[in-house]
Amino acid sequence: MTLPSPDSKTQLALYRQMLLIRHFEQKIVELYPEQEIRTPVHLCVGQEAVAAGVCAHLRDSDTIFTTHRNHGHCLAKGMSLKKMLAEFYGKETGCCRGKGGSMHPCAPEVGILGTSAIVGGGIPIAVGAAWANQMRGIPAVTVTFFGDGATEEGAFHESLNFAALKKIPVIFVCENNLYATASAIGKRQPAAGSIAARAATYGLPGKLINGNDVIEVYLAAGEAVIRAKQGLGPTLIEAETFRWFAHVGPVDDTKTGHRPANELTRWKKKCPIQHLRKALLSKKILTPDDEKIWQKKFDRSFEEALYFAKTSLPSGIEQLTTHVFA
Ligand SMILES: Cc1ncc(C[n+]2csc(CCOP(=O)(O)OP(=O)(O)O)c2C)c(N)n1
Ligand SMILES: [Mg+2]
């Protein structure tokens, strides 16, 4: 199945979505040194195309399960900026009443049912949620986003096997950013070839794509969504990409010797936003005026959300025993 290239309107929407995610992340980078944000932050700068390209196909009734590196996925899935920022600031108006921080967002109204920061932890939960939809006859699709590190967990393999066996409407999206914390993939997975190739072992399609090309992501995800909704079962997508900041926090880890600086420089040249921008400008689908208008809108909504977050009440001690398993 080969889908046609997205039309101009869709390409523009994908571009805008990536810009919005980058804008959010840059604001977090600016605000973090104030030390008012009460949570670690795992930034996704450089990886925006995966979130934008996949979530463009999803409706509120479709569900996603993401990881510690979730800001892009949550924004692209339609999470409220106010609830998201309030959560970062540990406020009772946050999406988890200030108890989850940035790593455990939950927004059932837009299909974010819960997030696990246990590496690989969200994958079987996503399969379970998708299986429940299948059994209830609900025509929804579930996406589980995870990193390359998660493919070394048993849960990844068990989930692929079970989902393929039961033709569960789930899409496994691996954001292979070549590192799990400071550990390079080449030193951890030397023998088995690509992550996508492992899908064949379990009897589902696996596709390795350029995760910095939002159109390629959009097309691969579109095919996987159609397959899932037609009852044909799961797909594994491996999207190769790269994070620009350190594993956690607005820090440059090339200075700490974790990743070589020239590797980051090479990947910055493959920026997913600049890549599409050039194409859209040359085809006159995008004008610099569009960008200025959007930036102003992003600034305004961010400022409003930040005001909401900063002026909300902190999560009180009484919250410790509510909405938790005891
Ligand atoms: C089961 C488990 N082991 C270890 C950790 C600590 N940890 C948090 S993130 C991470 C690396 C994850 O790498 P990857 O899956 O590639 O995602 P990325 O951070 O690159 O997006 C580790 C080891 C954890 N949270 N859960
Ligand atoms: Mg990784």
Ligand 2 center to residue 149 CA distance, Å? 5
Please determine, for residue 161, whether its predicted confidence score (pLDDT) is greater than 80.
yes
Burial class (CB in 10 A: 0-12, 13-18, 19+), 11: buried
Asked, for residue 324, whether it belongs to a domain, the answer is no
Residue 117 belongs to what H/E stretch?
none
Ligand 2 center to residue 181 CA distance, Å? 7
Asked, for residue 17, whether it belongs to a domain, the answer is yes
Q: If you take atom 3 of ligand 1, which residue's CA is the nearest one?
A: 119
User: Which ligand has the minimum distance to the alpha carbon of residue 152?
Assistant: 1
Asked, for residue 32, whether it belongs to a domain, the answer is yes
Residue type, 306: L
108-128, pLDDT tens digit by residue?
A: 999 999 999 999 999 999 999
Tell which wins on pLDDT, 5 or 191: 5
What average pLDDT does the chain have?
96
Q: What is the position in ligand 1's atom list of the atom closest to the CA of 180? A: 13
20-70, pLDDT tens digit by residue?
A: 999 999 999 999 999 999 899 999 999 999 999 999 999 999 999 999 999
**Sign of the CA dihedral 219, 234, 116, 201?**
negative
- Write out the residue range of the structural domain in which residue 237 sits: 8-243+289-314
Asked, for residue 272, whether it belongs to a domain, the answer is no
Asked, for residue 250, whether it belongs to a domain, the answer is no
Mean pLDDT of 190-194: 73
Tell which wins on pLDDT, 60 or 257: 60
Asked, for residue 258, whether it belongs to a domain, the answer is no
200-234, pLDDT tens digit by residue?
A: 999 999 999 999 999 999 999 999 999 999 999 99
Matching residue, tokens 């932890």: 121
Q: What is the position in ligand 1's atom list of the atom closest to the CA of 153? A: 1
Strands (E), the chain: 63-65, 142-147, 170-176, 179-180, 183-184, 206-210, 235-240
- Count of beta carbons in the 10 Å neighbourhood of residue 188: 13
Ligand 1 center to residue 106 CA distance, Å? 19
- Residues with beta carbon inside 6 Å of ligand 1? 68-69, 117-119, 147-150, 177, 179-181, 247
Please determine, for residue 241, whether its predicted confidence score (pLDDT) is greater than 90.
yes
72-110, pLDDT tens digit by residue?
A: 999 999 999 999 999 999 999 999 999 999 999 999 999
Ligand 1 center to residue 180 CA distance, Å? 6
- Count of beta carbons in the 10 Å neighbourhood of residue 307: 12
Mean pLDDT of 285-312: 97
Q: If you take atom 20 of ligand 1, which residue's CA is the nearest one?
A: 180
Q: Which of 146, 181, 189 to mutate to test the pocket of ligand 1 (most atoms within 8 A of CB)?
A: 181
Q: Identify the pLDDT of residue 204.
A: 98
Asked, for residue 248, whether it belongs to a domain, the answer is no
Q: What is the position in ligand 1's atom list of the atom closest to the CA of 69? A: 21
Radius of gyration of the chain (CA): 19
Those residues with Cβ within 8 angstroms of residue 257's Cβ, 6 or more apart along the chain or in another chain: none
Q: What percentage of the chain carries pLDDT values higher than 90?
A: 91
pLDDT-derived band of residue 199, with 50, 70 and 90 as boundaries?
A: very high
Ligand 1 center to residue 119 CA distance, Å? 5
Q: What is the CATH number of the domain that holds 301?
A: 3.40.50.970
Count the domains in the chain.
1
Ligand 2 center to residue 322 CA distance, Å? 34
Rounded to two decimals, the pTM is 0.97
Q: If you take atom 6 of ligand 1, which residue's CA is the nearest one?
A: 119
> Residue 84 and residue 92: Cα distance in Å, rounded?
11
Tell which wins on pLDDT, 258 or 30: 30
Asked, for residue 105, whether it belongs to a domain, the answer is yes
Residue 298 belongs to what H/E stretch?
helix 288-311
User: Which ligand has the minimum distance to the alpha carbon of residue 145?
Assistant: 1
Q: Which of 116, 118, 119 to mutate to test the pocket of ligand 1 (most atoms within 8 A of CB)?
A: 119
Q: If you take atom 12 of ligand 1, which residue's CA is the nearest one?
A: 180
Ligand 2 center to residue 54 CA distance, Å? 18
Q: What is the position in ligand 1's atom list of the atom closest to the CA of 121? A: 1
Q: Identify the pLDDT of residue 57.
A: 98
